Structure 1
Amino acid sequence: MRQDGHGQPLAPGAQATLARLMGTSVADVRVIRNVNVLPALQAARAEALTVGRTVFLSPDTRLDTPAGAALAAHEMTHALRRDQASFVPDVLRRASGPARPDAHDEEGVALATEHAAHPATGPLRLPGIPAPWEPLPWEADPSPPAPAPRPAATSVTPSPTRPSPAPPTALPSMPPPPPAGGAWVHAAAVDRPAAPAPAAAERQGDGAAVGRRAPVAAAVDLDQVAREVYARLRERLSTELRRV
């Protein structure tokens, strides 16, 4: 903190996302996100820290991803509750499912906010659409003639392991804890509980009734579009190979 002062406000896009999740502005919450934060995170065995109204994030935390925004929401909850002890973010108030934790359960509220901001659901994938890593038609179907011999695939060498961070060090220039008001440092531990899986009823939805199909929310999934294009290319390539 001595080197970085009180941090910087988030970029406007990240501020807008977190303000929507929190239900209030986060413009006055400062964020320190650089390599100097890594030793403190390692010492605390945490993915993020909040000291008062300053949030410490790893430089690898991408706030433009659901997981990164959810982690930031976890820490923003601590920062905002510094001055409003019973504050509960809007995203948690709107969440369905298990009952919310008590408003005075600091870590429980922050963790539930992270889970509500990033539901444990996978990306939408239509049935029958192959993924790029699946075998090509002539590899899966033995009936077509085998293609011409190809050079043996070279094994992929795993990337070198990431060097260990610097030896753990305590947060620099820590102010003394306040006489009252509870803890002033909060950590999103690396082993904190993960979001619970959605219930079977929630996954099936109301469209399980006979003769009815569950409505599918309209959304643009770039991965899905890429898979569809890839499937068409595979079909055409398979057809051309059968003609040879």
Structure 2
Amino acid sequence: MSAHSPAWDPAQYLRHAGHRARPFADLLARVPALPGDRPRIADLGCGPGNVTALLADRWPTAHITGYDNSPAMLDKAVVDHQGPTPGGGRLDFTAADARTWTPGEPYDLIVSNATLQWVPGHPDRFADWVAGLRPGGTFAFQVPGNFSAPSHRLMRELAGSARRRDRLADVLRHEDAVLAPEAYLERLAGLGCAADVWETTYIHLLTGEDPVLDWVKGTGLRPVLTALADDPAAREEFLAEYRAALREAYPAGPHGTPFPFRRIFAVATKEA
């Protein structure tokens, strides 16, 4: 669900599925009991559906719909996860964009995992989403809070260099892609929710050759890869310079490459 509609690659994204799923599990651990016996749940920006399926483990009887605007991601999600769930619920997937999606029915839980950073002005959508919750329902999300980290800063510096500025200067997100935790707390409390907001820095230990580059190829680098898709030489030149910079910023250790990754979490529960 991106502002610049990068082309997504489910296989590349899923190469680090274990690390990427952990923040979602940590987010769900703080979601309180839902009001409905057979909860209605929306997952905004479901991607390939691997973490959407975790919702069925937590709420076995729920009817869960994953929403995304990437046809490739939705195709993967439908093939791998759509259908009845073991607990008597159902998991389905459909096309929608977080910039415009509004609940068409009451939901017990609206959740979003590492998606809203792609949606400019996403805090302005909170009111519509909270309005779409049942009394006692919850809106929960997590977003990366690492836009000042070397992985993103180096990417922006290369994209903004004189010879690339015309093609790449506007495709990448900056630090204002997400709010500070305190600002999210204010927004959600202002909507009458009991809000729980926190941040965590994970230290992922990545393995393999150039693992940080491999990671960002699945997410943050997608706009650059998409913008340069028609110019393989320029694409490879960018990747070579970025690879060298990442090796210096994230040196490999004896057990792998440590990759610090800050994330911001929010759980907002509507008054019952």
Task: Identify whether the pair has TM-score above 0.5, normalized to the shorter chain.
Answer: no
More strand per residue:
2
Structure ID, larger Rg: 1
Task: Tell me the TM-score normalized by structure 2.
Answer: 0.23
